């Protein structure tokens, strides 16, 4: 019997480690391949050697390496494709991480940043900014900042509304999220209506695209996403317990109020940064955690960092397809939703078959 236990312990850890390492290796190889392919693809041909030269030259400020290339190629790589690729990666990763966190905190595998109204808040902020800019007030309001502000304000409103006697419940969060989200959607429609002929600018922004990504967008989304992934990963064990509900979390030694605040803030900040950079990109936040749970299980210590990697990878692929597939660019939000929707249905059906009713 003693031997059986030893065997079991070893088996358990070996199996889990295997899966984690295989998944990590596969994702890393895939990421490197996608990264180079994505820089390579596009209207102008760019070889792998050019890419290496530009990156090395810029990172170490070596003029002698840079001078090996002509300036147009250098500019296409450094000023256009590289920031867009980084944006795609971090926006995708960020949306996936926030989806994983929202699902666990709200105890609902169907939740994502839309459930809490945070994304709609960002869209509302952006719409107002675009509208005011069209009306030409003499100065331009930065759309990104407005979207960010909209998202953060919405989070504050939703969290205040869900409080009953100082107590925050997942059901309340979902309900008030949906209510606030509907009100804000109506607001967006109103602004679109008021914009008249210029409605295209708002619609275009909301469709979800990474085509306007530059280094300033990278510098917004990268630090927020990185911090928003690292901090929750560090506390991921409490998130596991929180995903069983307030009572269970408490009985197992976690203060549900305190830890929920950490996770909701992190996930909402990520969402705000992502939406403000790229507009509305659906389904990444919903699907990635589900895909990962099939392979790695429900442990958030693994799920959160892997969400970052897989989400980033998926959006990078989708954005590259959006960029090069047709002669004109397709909004990447359309691609993620059109591919993600059916895939999600597949997971949904599969899961229902395996469950006791």
Residue pair 95/118 in contact by the 8 Å Cβ criterion: no
Q: Which of 137, 253, 326, 327 binds another protein (CB under 8 A)?
A: 253
Q: What helix, strand, coil percent values describe the chain, rounded to 5?
A: 80, 0, 20
Compute the least distance from the CB of residue 285 to another protein, in Å.
16
| Region of 32-40, 70-78, 195-203, 253-261 interacting with another protein (CB under 8 A) | 253-261
Compute the least distance from the CB of residue 348 to another protein, in Å.
14
Q: 276: which residues sit within 8 A by CB, 6+ positions away?
A: 122, 125, 126, 143, 144, 145, 146, 147, 148, 151, 220
Q: Which of residues 273-302 bind another protein (CB under 8 A)?
A: 293, 297-299
Task: Tally Cβ neighbours within 10 Å of residue 157.
Answer: 17
254 touches another protein by CB under 8 A: yes
Residue pair 81/218 in contact by the 8 Å Cβ criterion: no
Compute the least distance from the CB of residue 283 to another protein, in Å.
20
251 touches another protein by CB under 8 A: yes
Instruction: Compute how many residues bind another protein; rule: CB under 8 A.
Output: 34
Compute the least distance from the CB of residue 173 to another protein, in Å.
15
Rounded Cα distance, 118 and 113, in Å? 6
Q: Shortest CA distance to 220 belongs to which of 151, 117, 168?
A: 151
Compute the least distance from the CB of residue 233 to another protein, in Å.
10
| Region of 103-111, 139-147, 196-204, 264-272 interacting with another protein (CB under 8 A) | 103-111
Please report the beta strands in 92-184, taking only residues with DSSP state E, as ranges in sequence order. 163-164, 167-168
Biggest CA–CA distance in the chain, Å, is 81
Please report the beta strands in 151-307, taking only residues with DSSP state E, as ranges in sequence order. 163-164, 167-168
Compute the least distance from the CB of residue 90 to another protein, in Å.
25
18 touches another protein by CB under 8 A: no
Q: Which of 234, 343, 346, 348 binds another protein (CB under 8 A)?
A: 234
Residues that bind another protein (CB under 8 A): 5, 8-9, 12, 104, 107-109, 234-235, 237-238, 240-241, 243-245, 247-256, 293, 297-299, 354-356
């Amino acid at each position: 019997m003693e031997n059986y236990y030893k065997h079991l312990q070893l088996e358990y850890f070996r199996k889990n480690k295997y899966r984690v390492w295989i998944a990590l290796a596969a994702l890393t190889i895939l990421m490197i391949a996608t990264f180079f392919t994505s820089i390579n693809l596009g209207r102008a041909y760019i070889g792998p050697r050019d890419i290496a030269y530009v990156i090395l030259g810029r990172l170490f400020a070596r003029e002698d390496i840079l001078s090996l290339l002509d300036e147009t190629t250098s500019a296409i790589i450094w000023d256009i494709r590289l920031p867009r690729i980084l944006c795609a990666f971090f926006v995708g990763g960020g949306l996936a991480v926030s989806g994983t966190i929202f699902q666990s905190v709200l105890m609902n595998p169907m939740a994502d940043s839309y459930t809490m109204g945070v994304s709609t808040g960002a869209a509302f902020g952006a719409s107002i900014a675009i509208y005011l800019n069209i009306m030409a007030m003499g100065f331009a309001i930065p759309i990104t900042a407005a979207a960010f502000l909209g998202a953060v304000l919405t989070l504050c409103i939703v969290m205040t509304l869900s409080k009953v006697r100082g107590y925050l419940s997942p059901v309340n969060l979902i309900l008030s999220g949906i209510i606030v989200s509907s009100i804000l959607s109506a607001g967006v429609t109103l602004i679109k209506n008021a914009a008249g002929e210029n409605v295209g600018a708002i619609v275009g922004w909301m469709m979800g695209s990474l085509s306007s990504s530059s280094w300033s967008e990278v510098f917004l989304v990268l630090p927020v996403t990185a911090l928003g992934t690292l901090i929750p990963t560090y506390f991921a064990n409490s998130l596991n317990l929180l995903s069983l509900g307030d009572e269970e979390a408490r009985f197992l030694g976690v203060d549900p109020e305190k830890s929920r605040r950490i996770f909701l803030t992190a996930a909402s900040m990520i969402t705000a940064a992502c939406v403000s950079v790229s507009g509305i990109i659906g389904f990444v936040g919903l699907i990635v955690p589900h895909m990962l749970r099939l392979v790695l299980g429900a442990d958030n210590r693994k799920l959160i960092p892997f969400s970052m990697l897989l989400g980033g990878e998926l959006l990078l692929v989708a954005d590259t397809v959006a960029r090069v597939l047709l002669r004109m660019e397709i909004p990447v939000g359309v691609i993620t939703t059109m591919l993600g929707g059916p895939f999600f249905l597949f997971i949904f059906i599969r899961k229902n078959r395996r469950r006791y009713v």
